[in-house]
Structure 1
């Protein structure tokens, strides 16, 4: 999957960014809810598969000590070129996360990364996130539901998420805003999952 993303960044094809911008208000509402139970500043956040860093920058702007991690160098170069204070970007593999290079976190964000991984990779991402998680940490993840569309991540079920993230409780599952998505992609019925380390 990372090869496909590398090609897309090289060609400037990034429909997920357009969709994210169109759904910014609903994303902000999710972050408002996330931050309501936290002190100010809210803590450290890790944006998994951050791409060019839009969500990492959003988190930094809201007071998080925000780190974005991705394995696509071109995307990270773009992210670093416009990164404000409070946003940091690290090249790395979400299936091989390390506390020695990243530290620990209170909040994790996965916008469409998990659902593009194999079952083994999903389990590896979850193990890495768990190793980096402070007590009571939360994870907010958006992922496609299973579908039959070609050339796209095949999607995941709640059971897939629960299996990979053993030791975390799924606190909510709700439909994602698909306003900015191309019409065929809306058939993937993306869901927002909120999990908490137990």
Structure 2
């Protein structure tokens, strides 16, 4: 999917997820589970394809040290405004998720979040992103990844399967956590039929 074009024309329906109580409840539950047994600060978190920084900011509010990565400068501009408005600390990096280390993103991240980047990439890009995540994630890291069910959607994300995730993330245990409960704006929901799922990945 061409995210530069999407932001250029103001097409970013995924941002309305913050206004969907059922989706917010689902992602907050996953954050809660990642924090069990710990006290803030929780450690480093990486928000892949952060866009306007919605969920990176929410993690920062909870006590994570967050780095957000996106390749679209217009999206990062919106993220900077959101970070300033929220009054939190969040590092924003312009970079490609298929070459995180080339963008200077490195370390031992304890939480990696992807709310819709992986499933919009080509097969080659997905494999490259998985390799990069594997390289920068800590030994006890958790990856939370959102993906649509596969379907032909033209230039829109075609979705991804659990089996593909398992193939691209060898050495990780992949768990399908079920629907995200996000309902897109009606025209988008009718055209895309996303049927989003949350997946949790942990090193085996």
Scaled by the length of structure 2, what TM-score is found?
A: 0.88
**Does residue 8 of structure 1 match 2:6?**
yes
Contact 2:150-2:161 at 8 Å conserved across structures: yes
Distance verdict in 2 for CA 1:82–1:176, change over 3 Å? closer
Say how many residue pairs are matched. 196
Contact 1:48-1:94 at 8 Å conserved across structures: yes
Match of 2:44 in 1: 44
Q: Which residues of structure 2 form unaligned runs of 5+?
A: none
CA distance in 2, matches of 1:85, 1:20: 18
Contact 2:146-2:197 at 8 Å conserved across structures: yes
| Aligned positions of 1:74-93 closer than 5 A | 74-83=74-83, 84-93=87-96
Distance verdict in 2 for CA 1:186–1:154, change over 3 Å? closer
Match of 1:193 in 2: 199
Contact 1:178-1:186 at 8 Å conserved across structures: no
Q: Which residues of structure 1 form unaligned runs of 5+?
A: none
CA distance in 2, matches of 1:40, 1:120: 37
CA distance in 1, matches of 2:11, 2:153: 19
What's the Cα RMSD here?
Answer: 1.9
Contact 2:178-2:197 at 8 Å conserved across structures: yes
Deviations 1:143-187 (A, max 9, x none): 001123444211111101111111111134311112345332673
Distance verdict in 2 for CA 1:168–1:181, change over 3 Å? farther
Distance verdict in 2 for CA 1:86–1:34, change over 3 Å? same
Q: Larger deviation: 175-184 or 120-129?
A: 175-184
Scaled by the length of structure 1, what TM-score is found?
A: 0.91
